[in-house]
A and B are shown apart, each in its own frame.
Chain A
């Protein structure tokens, strides 16, 4: 009797999703899919809006990484305006994007995944959450809240609002940095350094206990893509994209936003509202690649900051000379990036021009199409718009991190399911691992379908006649 296991919804994930696992007559895993179940339609309903409204509108794609959308959108608008923004505006936006990366990574690691890592994959589902972590490991739970607060506090200081700040606009930012705010941010740094040190130590202590998960959590060779600077250092806001292969060899580099639209394609699978992004010259699905913290650390030769470079060297020892390929290591990479983010924010604040008053360029429509790209916490993000002579949007396309990881997430779900589910037998702890492999990618399902949702988990066993034979609610 063939069966389908349905996990609906997947929890501790940023969006609406389901997992289905198909078992054959012998109860062995035949196939598995990750379904994203919402779509909102920003690419269509933005039609007719003035282009200068787009950053504020597109931020509403996602409440977790609104800053990445603000920046990618503003850059697409600046391509339409044909302007270079002032140096100070670029530096302030870079700091804002890093602050968001820190808060979003803290959310992913502590609020969403640390219950699995610190309390255990098989631990009581009723306490397997951030409140359970706060009760069992209060110091680490508080470090997570503290790191998330650090990022959100900086966003609020710069943009006046923690979520959907209106400060980033086409041409730069609305206001320069006030010296008192610079000093307030500087005063936040010592606590943030202490919290990330605590997190890295805790992660390294427990990682060895997850050998089996490391072995099967989307552990296979793929291509990787991310932003880098000309000196091969990691970048989140400017720079150009580089694509590497499974051996670490460069497939393509120097990809600007305008070229991105030529080399990146999107495929559709019938079972998900999130598309499957691929590198066009290699075709689909061979041209699939991973993005996000693991990809960025596999691509960058240096973080460009001293403490994070020590961590990068240690990270690279996991697979000397090759890309690190198990998605379990997204967690590790995420923490290294948090450390980098704190160091880089500190460095940006010492820029002699950081308080400069020139923070905005103005222009009208000078091109009828524009594209912008940035790294969201979970991977590369691209916005592409067309406008008419009056600057009204006629067409939009968004390429989102989670679509770029979609192929690897689906293969990862299958790999974990095949490893743990034998003879039709499974438990809460096993199904939690199937969800946990998705959590490593920190997918933003709201972003990926330009939509968002919610997710609990029901497993239903259905026989070949479609009759429900068993149900597990966890």
Chain B
């Protein structure tokens, strides 16, 4: 059996889901026998590959860049997993929604700055007005809640997806876990 292609992506999250993925520790070595990590913050691929079997996506959609990324990921992935509470509900990143991006930027770069007060605008992407979970943009195949989902949850879910074994997510994890 040829190895499945796995991608992991950060949108607007804290990286805690990725750290929990790495918390599989030595089990990562055995996992690498089953899947190739073809795209991830921890590998050097710069472009999302044309064909990915499983894409794990952490974080909410918060900027115009995030929106472009999630559409591209969906178009090139067979199974898209919303990884963690921010991807599934918006969670902490969406707390800014009741204030709006202008208020966020004003606090950080005008009020809380002491020199060259200005809103960054060169190269950096524009913020969307509302932070949304990824299923509001694209179809999600598997929801894996948790803040973050535990390493055991990742391991059980990935092995099940690769081998076709049944996957009982509520038995593994919950929101806020």
Contact = CB atoms under 8 A, between A and B. Distances in A.
Interface of A: 8-9, 11-16, 18, 20, 33, 35-41, 43-45, 47, 57, 60-64, 66, 107, 111-112, 115, 125-126, 128-131, 134, 142, 145, 148-149, 152, 162-164, 265-273, 275, 278, 280, 283-284, 397, 432, 446, 449-458, 473-474
A37 B37 contact: no
Contact of A9 (B18, B46, B150): B46
B27 to A, nearest CB: 10
B25 interface: yes
B124 A64 contact: no
A148 B22 contact: yes
A131 B112 contact: no
25 contacts: A11-B44, A12-B43, A16-B65, A37-B63, A40-B96, A107-B19, A112-B42, A126-B45, A162-B151, A265-B114, A267-B113, A267-B115, A268-B117, A269-B120, A270-B121, A272-B124, A273-B120, A449-B108, A452-B10, A453-B12, A454-B10, A454-B11, A454-B41, A473-B46, A474-B44
Interface residues of B, number: 67
A108 to B, nearest CB: 12
B98 interface: yes
Nearest to A107: B22
B92 A64 contact: no
A142 B26 contact: yes
Nearest to A453: B10
Contacts of A162: 19-20, 23, 150-151
Given A11-B45, A15-B10, 20 more contacts: A11-B42, A15-B15, A35-B123, A39-B105, A40-B104, A41-B96, A43-B104, A57-B92, A131-B32, A134-B32, A142-B29, A162-B23, A275-B109, A280-B114, A283-B115, A452-B10, A453-B10, A456-B39, A456-B47, A458-B47
Contacts of B172: none
Could you tell me the dominant secondary structure of chain A's interface residues?
loop
Contacts of B37: 129, 131
A2 to B, nearest CB: 16
Contacts of A163: 16, 19-20, 23, 148
A265 B41 CA distance: 31
Contacts of A457: 44, 46
B122 A270 contact: yes
B54 interface: no
Interface string B55-81: 000010011010001000000000000
Contacts of A473: 46-47
Contact of B41 (A18, A38, A41, A455): A455
Contacts of A9: 46
B153 to A, nearest CB: 12
Interface of B: 9-20, 22-23, 25-26, 28-29, 32, 37, 39, 41-48, 59, 62-63, 65, 69, 92-93, 95-96, 98-99, 101, 103-109, 112-125, 127, 147-148, 150-151
Contacts of A397: 112
Contact of A268 (B41, B93, B118): B118
A61 B93 CA distance: 9
Greatest chain A CB density within 10 A among B11, B44, B65, B103 is at B44
A43 B16 CA distance: 20
A457 B18 CA distance: 19
A44 B25 contact: no
Contacts of A284: 115-116
Contacts of A446: 14-15
Contact of B43 (A11, A37, A268): A11
A57 B14 CA distance: 11
B44 A164 contact: no
A96 B67 CA distance: 37
A458 B148 CA distance: 30
Contact of A39 (B17, B69, B104): B104
Contact of A12 (B42, B69, B122): B42
A177 to B, nearest CB: 22
B51 to A, nearest CB: 16
A254 to B, nearest CB: 22
B76 to A, nearest CB: 13
A44 B115 contact: no
Nearest to A20: B123
B92 to A, nearest CB: 4
A152 B115 CA distance: 39
A21 to B, nearest CB: 12
B14 A61 contact: yes
A64 B125 CA distance: 24
A454 B26 CA distance: 24
